[in-house]
Structure 1
Amino acid sequence: MIRLRKMEQTDLPVFKKWLYTPHVARWYHDPLDWIKEATAQDGEFCWIHHFIVEHEGQPVGFCQYYACQDSDEPWEGYTALGGSYSIDYMIGVPDFLRKGLGKLIVAELTDRIALHPDAKRIVVQPEPENKASCGLLLSCGFVLDTEKEIYVKRLT
């Protein structure tokens, strides 16, 4: 139903458009930072795996994953544990919201991360007000670490 393909520089115009779409902009703050990362994905940000989500050949969203140790984010101690990865995802095309694609995206990212020999967990921290994302993570087997306000899915 969906396919994740490596994001290319030719995808930047649609990615930029999505970042400024109201339902995405509400959660993806600082769009210029996201654009910078995507633009430099083969250079400075090569440690982030960027993907375009396609449905029947049409680009409908974006997702990415990375090893937390490669970022400068401590993830409330989860980075120090080793084997921690994080994900980001969005449906950019409004007509594809609430169709189950988010669950498919998270499942596909989880499968890809699980292929890394060091992968032990995935950590995600959506804004608590983003009820759709929080519910999606719970439906995909993540558990909320209420002390740290981070959703965690153990892989081992």
Structure 2
Amino acid sequence: MIEFRKLTAGDYPLLLKWLQRPHVKQYWNNGDDTLEKVAHHYALDKSQVQYYIAMQDNQDIGFYQYNLSNNRNIGIDMFLANADQLSQGLGTICLNAFGDFICKIKDCHSLSVDPHPDN
């Protein structure tokens, strides 16, 4: 079962570790290479973007975020944390679960994801 929990400041070291992994950094490189940069970038009280940790069987497996625009469209970005879980359908399962999760808590009209063509 896939579940989501809000990102907390206590997750910043884990997020930093994930952001340094080659399969993540290749597509998600915001220059967040120190704990201070991660804390600044993902500060929960400074952003209109909502951040979540994806979990499978109570294990942290990925990072998901969404942003609600004025026209009720929700933009989603995400990554799976573990390279050995790629190309097995887990990303699609998590994305569908995240879409369902968001639409239960927000009034959304549409969801959009803009992946890199090589990803």
* Contact 1:19–1:31 (8 Å) recurs in 2: no
Distance in 1, matches of 2:41 and 2:93, equals 24
Structure 2 spans left out of the alignment, 5+ residues: none
Larger Rg: 1
Distance in 1, matches of 2:88 and 2:118, equals 20
Alignment-derived partner of residue 6 in structure 1: 6
* Contact 1:68–1:84 (8 Å) recurs in 2: yes
- Counting matched residue pairs gives 114
Structure 1 spans left out of the alignment, 5+ residues: 70-81, 131-156
Across the aligned residues of Structure 1 and Structure 2, the Cα RMSD in angstroms comes to 2.0
- 1:22 deviates by 0.4
**Which runs of 4 or more aligned residues in structure 1 lie more than 4 Å from their structure 2 counterparts after TM superposition?**
none
**Greater helix content:** 1
Distance in 1, matches of 2:16 and 2:87, equals 22
Structure-1-length-normalised TM-score: 0.65
Distance in 1, matches of 2:115 and 2:90, equals 17
Task: Work out which structure has the larger RCO, using CA pairs closer than 8 Å and 6 or more positions apart in sequence.
Answer: 2
Distance in 1, matches of 2:98 and 2:56, equals 16
